[in-house]
Amino acid sequence: MFLIFVNLIFSLATTAHADYQDPGVFENFQFQSSSVVRGAEPASANDVVSSSTVLIQTSSGGICSGTLIAADLVITAAHCVVGESLFMIQGSYKGTSVIKLGQAYRSHPKFSINKILMGMAGKSATHDIALIHLGDKFPAVFRPASLPAREVRYSEQKVVIAGYGTTFSSKDKNKKSDAGTLRFGAATVTSYKSGASIQLKENGKAYGCPGDSGGPLYTNSRDRLVIIGIHSWGNCDWSTANAESVGQHLQWINKAAEQLRSGAEM
């Protein structure tokens, strides 16, 4: 998928919801750091992208990516969470490997899977955004990404895209899934207009594949990562991808975070 990566070796749990709540299931997960790189010079496993990009495993066994925006909040794609009841959030940074439970989420009220299907048909997908609240905070060594201060036009903006997805299309039935490794690389925003998706041209060695959904588009501001987009859908063929703009949903994000932390009903 992307150029530089940090290995995260795990076994997929496809058990019932009750088993998910058993702390013993965590014994099946082991984290390892690696500096293995495909097509580039070796990079440190302590790269800052690892400080906020997390792996999400759903109660039905699905895999998505997400981003810490606070020690107790993960932002991801709505299509990753709708219909799920429990989430295992996993991250590894500077020798600290963590698994946390997320049991409450908010997806944007205007999201529907039909919007994704429309996007794949050539129309813009919108509102594919969600927040997951963690019952226990990530340790202080992790560095949650910042939100943009406002909505900005990002045309021709260079960004970093990241995720835990596979390196090949789901159409390749004969290949064993290699999801669970954090990879990241460069891309360029080709177009964006308010109320629509951010469209990306991936720079040859970075592309969105199964498991990358919900992963971040990062820019850098004052030595901090800023998440400007959330991977929604795209082609696993080194070509294009679409992301949901974070900037156009700032009001909703703040309201959803407040509701989750207060325990307010949906």
> Which parts of the chain register pLDDT below 70?
1-46, 115-125, 154, 166-179, 193-196, 202-208, 210, 235-240, 265-266
Which homologous superfamily is 158-247 in? Trypsin-like serine proteases (2.40.10.10)
Q: Where are the domains of the chain?
A: 4-144+250-262, 158-247
The whole-angstrom separation of Cα 110 and Cα 112 is 7
Vertex 255 angle, CA 261 and 198, to 5°: 120
Q: Kindly calculate the radius of gyration of the chain based on its CA atoms and give it in whole angstroms.
A: 17
pTM of the model: 0.79
State the pLDDT at residue 156: 74
Give the tens place of pLDDT for each residue, 180-224.
788 888 888 887 766 667 877 765 554 567 678 899 999 988 788
Residue 163 CB contacts under 8 Å (≥ 6 apart), including other chains: 1, 2, 53, 65, 182, 183, 184, 208, 209, 211, 212, 213, 214, 215, 231
Nearest by Cα to 197 from 146, 236, 234:
234
Same fold flag, 4-144+250-262 and 158-247: yes
Token pair in block for residue 61: 């066994």
Topology (CATH) of 4-144+250-262: Thrombin, subunit H (2.40.10)
Nearest by Cα to 45 from 107, 87, 94, 112:
94
